[in-house]
Amino acid sequence: MKIGIIFGGISEEHLVSVKSAQEVAKHLDTTKYEPFWIGITKAGEWRLCDGPGPDWEDGDCRPAVLSPDRSVGGLVVPEGGRHRTIGLDVVLPVLHGKHGEDGALQGLLELSGIPYVGCDVPGSALCMDKSLAYVVAGAAGIATPGFRIVPPNEQPDPGRLTYPVFVKPARSGSSFGVGKVSGPDDLPAAVETARQYDSKVLIEEAVAGSEVGCAVLGNDGELTVGEVDRISLSHGFFRIHQESEPESGSENSTITVPADIPAETRVLVQETAKAIYRALGCKGLSRVDMFLTGDGTVVLNEVNTLPGLTSYSRYPRMMAAAGLPLAEVLDRVVSLALTGKDR
């Protein structure tokens, strides 16, 4: 089976994507799949390369284009004044953040007609925009934080908020641009920081509770969930992929898998994660991040539709704790992509 694996990208999560692809390379069963590694540089250039090594751009890379023409069904690679085509049976996007999990790439793949792993265009776009995800999840009866949107060129009135609050880019990931604001004097700077990543900014109420997560796998029918994890903080708020040495662990948090919570609470978190997954139209795989409050309420935080797959990422760790190693996860999401190719 010819599988195109797309990694890199132009978002702030470029380096994380490369690391995710490196982990996929270690676990992909090459007796089943013939991988074609498609790297996207930070400048947005598409390259067909030998693999996702740390210096992949300096290796034997050739320009390549994923054609939206369904008669091609794969890659167009210029060679010596001409071009050759490489048909692909399925595409595995290993991209995080903007233009990777927000529906942009998924739209191109829909045009190409090639089956692909993960959420479709509506599900990807919905989950990427936290405010829209909250509205839809809330309508489905799921608890969400209170929030307000700050449009471009508008400044919120600091005196009308109850502190602390979190200021976030509405459509970004890995805590980039997120700030905790304890008082009105710090609000304008936090809004400007968030605007470096997105013109649409959210101000959210702080939810008192533990941060928990659940890995979910499947399409519309029966869903598989991983073990729940729980994040313990030493200070500040949880940040990921921004540490100086992330492989050695977060600088301000410890992640426990399985979570040290009662069995009935674990089931509640898993069932809530599945309800969120279905309400937001997710397919293939997603990591659902939630808060667990002191009274046992589960509150949506966000959904990552192409979660990190690095050696230290939460999604593969939760699945492995449930008995599904990454190699099997990859097999399952490819199978789901082929099963749902007529979406």
Give the pLDDT confidence of 251-294 residue by residue, as tens digits: 557 899 999 999 999 999 999 999 999 999 999 999 999 999 99
Domain spans, the chain: 2-116, 125-143+208-339, 147-205
Q: In angstroms, how far is CA 276 from the centroid of its own chain?
A: 15
| Amino acid in the structure at residue 251 | E
Span 160-179, pLDDT tens digits = 899 999 999 998 876 788 99
Q: Which CATH class is domain 147-205?
A: alpha beta
The answer as to CATH 3.40.50.1010 being correct for domain 125-143+208-339 is: no
List, for the chain, all residue ranges whose pLDDT scores fall below the cut of 70: 174, 234-252, 341-343
SS3 assignment, position 275: helix
DSSP state, 207? P
Q: Which CATH class is domain 2-116?
A: alpha beta
Span 28-43, pLDDT tens digits = 999 999 999 999 999 9
Cα 165 from Cα 150, distance rounded (Å)? 13
pLDDT of residue 304: 96
pTM of the model: 0.91
**Cβ neighbours, 10 Å, residue 278:** 14
* Helices 14-27, 326-339: crossing angle, 10 deg rounding: 100
DSSP state, 143? B
Q: Residue 82 — φ and ψ, nearest 5°? A: -120, -165
- Contact of 273 with 214, CB cutoff 8 Å: yes
SS3 assignment, position 216: strand
With a pLDDT cut of 70, the percent of the chain lying above it is 93
pLDDT of residue 341: 53
Catalytic residues: 16, 19, 96, 241, 247, 287, 308, 312
pLDDT of residue 240: 54
Q: Nearest Cα to 286, choosing from 124, 107, 134?
A: 124
Cα 135 from Cα 137, distance rounded (Å)? 6
- Contact of 109 with 91, CB cutoff 8 Å: yes
| Amino acid in the structure at residue 61 | C
- Contact of 70 with 76, CB cutoff 8 Å: no
Tell me the residue length of the chain: 343
**Torsion-angle region of residue 191: left (phi > 0), alpha (psi -120 to 50) or beta?**
alpha
Q: In angstroms, how far is CA 117 from the centroid of its own chain?
A: 13
Cα 112 from Cα 226, distance rounded (Å)? 32
The β-bridge relationship of strands 74-79 and 65-66 is: antiparallel
SS3 assignment, position 114: coil
SS3 assignment, position 340: coil
SS3 assignment, position 106: helix
What is the DSSP annotation of 2-49?
EEEEEEE-SSTTHHHHHHHHHHHHHH--TTT-EEEEEEE-TT--EEEE
pLDDT of residue 340: 75
